[in-house]
Amino acid sequence: MATTAPATTHRLPAVRDLLRSNGLWLWLIVAAGSTLRLQQFIFNRSFWHDETLLATAFVDRGFAQLVFEPLANNQAAPVGYLVLVKLVTVLLGTHEWTLRLVSLLSGLATLPLALAVARLSFSSFVARATLVGLVAVSPVLVYYSTEFKQYQGDVLGTLLILWLTLRFRPDHCREDAFWLALAGAIGIWCSHAIDFVLAGSGLALWLEMARRRDRRAWLAVNAVGLVWLVSFVADYLVALRSVPHNAYLAGFWATSFAPIPPTTLADLHWFREAALGLVYLGFLQMGTAFREVLPGWFSGPVHALLALTVLGSVALAFQRVRAAAMGAITLMTVLGASALHQYPFRARLILFLVPFVFLALAALVQQLHELPLRRAAPWLAAGLAAGVLWMPLRLSLHVVRHPHNYQDIRGALQYIADHRQPGDHAMLGSWTYPAYSFYAPRTGLADLPRFVYQPTINEVHNIRSTVRRICQDPASGRTWVLATNQIVANNRAFLEALSSLSPPLQTVPLEGGALFLHDFRPTGYCQRYRSTFPPAGR
């Protein structure tokens, strides 16, 4: 009687082959990056200040208003992005997660695109894994995949145009030019930053085709550029022309414009600062990337990463001239626009440049892998890859345990809703008011009276004048003071002024701030301004 071998013995070689498959491990990295983004998205943190400014300017507008009218609250966002978000909210309702869904999908789409770019750019698994891994675990890319802002779409646009540029083939120029033209023309409406990437792509291809003397491919590139130009002019006339003339935005980013030509040592220091800030942004930035210069930019690891990025850029120029030329021209274009005060070179506005930093470091890993050291070269390459991946991975793993919740205004208002008494009211600063106005109706506090003050350098005056208004209102009862993290962490004068008038009855710590319950009615200060004093237990 014939016997058959167990099926498991036949499967074992197949399983071993699968585990040895480089493609499998690259897709596992993609899956890990997707998990990081989904985990932060599902946590559904409260909107912070800038998100609520955009949300309050967005939610009550129709499609035509979003396209043709400037946003309120000094907000600027591409009309394509706004239209996509509006479509989502029309279909699924207006919630934090629907407003952030386009950013999440952009963040998820960057991962397979990074894999596609890696496969076109590098031959070794370790270099490919470096690029895909950096995109997957970069804390700032994970964060902006879950923020109601357009910056993750900028990164997606960079990777898409980079991939289409790298795969452009002169012998298939018509087909490749079509997709490049289409992606760029649509991208212009969905990203302000993609204009610089398109300049890098178009000029790099134009110069290459001219050098090759390939007239057919050169004409195809010219046609692509013409399509992009028409799309840009239309976007500018419809929506973009008001943005560079916004005086508030120009003043807000005043220190972020490139001093070209540099004439002083301070100007030269600006470029060093900007380079370190870009590297820090890609590797170590946690949460929102503010415009301020951070002490962490000047640390030893960031200087080392910048040096490796410069070396990697040189390596990329030898390995993939087209990619290196595209990155260099993109950088020069955005610096030129910054010198003309048309585009700030700082923080979240240059997030779209981060993939070029990662590409340079992956090129350096590839260069080490190709060294004529048969045994040492793979280990050197793997060591560098592990080193540059560990820093962002460590921070992203921390966020898995402690998701971002920069200002938990929603949690604070929900606590008030659960513990309010008749006569209660809220006291908050004007910077906190946009978030309050967005969340109050959603937490059942639309009817809660509020006293809003304008923060100045004299916090004692702010507090006393606001409490005076509270005391002069005969209907006012207890006061819920909503303080965000800037006040709790950095402004002791605010808290001391409150406590000097009335010690808090209750303190509720929150992510990104605190909630204080006060009753100013029995205080001597309040009685001076209140002719009729209701019972304290009201």
Tell me how far CA of residue 230 lies from CA of 226, 235, 322, in angstroms.
6, 9, 25
User: Cα(54)–Cα(180) distance, rounded to whole angstroms?
Assistant: 31
Secondary structure letter of residue 292 according to DSSP:
S
Q: What burial letters (b/e) apply to 430-440, b meaning 16+ CB within 10 Å?
A: ebbbbbbebbb
H or E element, residue 479: strand 479-484
d(Cα 109, Cα 289) in Å, to the nearest integer?
A: 22
ω into 261 cis (within 30 of 0):
yes
Q: Is 18 helix (H, G, I), strand (E, B) or coil?
A: helix
User: Using CA atoms, how far apart are residues 448 and 102, in angstroms rounded to an integer?
Assistant: 33
3-class DSSP assignment, residue 143: helix
- What pLDDT sits at residue 20? 64
Q: Which residues pair with 428 in a beta bridge?
A: 452
Amino acid of residue 485: N
Structure tokens at 251: 């003043």
Token representation of residue 393: 């991975």
The total number of residues shown for the chain amounts to 538
Phi, psi of 154 (to 5 degrees): -60, -40
The pLDDT tens digits of the residues spanning 88-138 come to 999 999 999 999 999 999 999 999 999 999 999 999 999 999 999 999 999
* Token code pair at residue 73: 């609250």
Domains of the chain: 20-401 (no CATH), 409-527 (3.40.47)
pLDDT for the residue 326 = 98
Helix axes of 49-58 and 79-92: crossing angle, nearest 10 degrees: 80
Q: Coil, strand, or helix at residue 346?
A: coil
Cα distances from 378 to residues 124, 275, 368, 373, in angstroms, run 10, 29, 7, 8
* Residue 535: predicted pLDDT: 47
Residue 106, SS3 per DSSP = helix
Residue ranges of the chain whose pLDDT lies below 70: 1-20, 485-492, 530-538
> Can you name the residues that pair with 479 across neighbouring β-strands?
425, 518
CB 66 within 8 A of CB 79: yes
Burial class from Cβ neighbours inside 10 Å (0-12, 13-18, 19+) for residue 354 reads: buried
DSSP H stretches of helix in 167-299:
173-190, 194-212, 215-235, 247-252, 265-283
* 105 CB neighbour count, 10 Å cutoff: 17
Going from the C-alpha of 100 to that of each of 96, 150, 466, 502, the distances in angstroms are 6, 10, 35, 40
The model carries a pTM of 0.91
- Position 538 scores a pLDDT of 39
Alpha-carbon distances of 146 from 69, 115, 516, rounded to whole Å: 26, 21, 29
Angle at which helix 151-166 crosses helix 194-212, to 10 degrees, equals 10
Is residue 440 a contact partner of residue 82, using CB atoms and an 8 Å limit? Answer: no
HSE-up of residue 288 (Cα within 13 Å, Cβ side)? 16
State how far the Cα of 495 lies from the Cα of 487, in Å rounded to an integer. 8
pLDDT at 537: 42
* Contact between residue 37 and residue 146 where contact means Cβ atoms under 8 Å apart: yes
Kindly report the number of other CB atoms within 10 A of residue 387's CB atom: 15
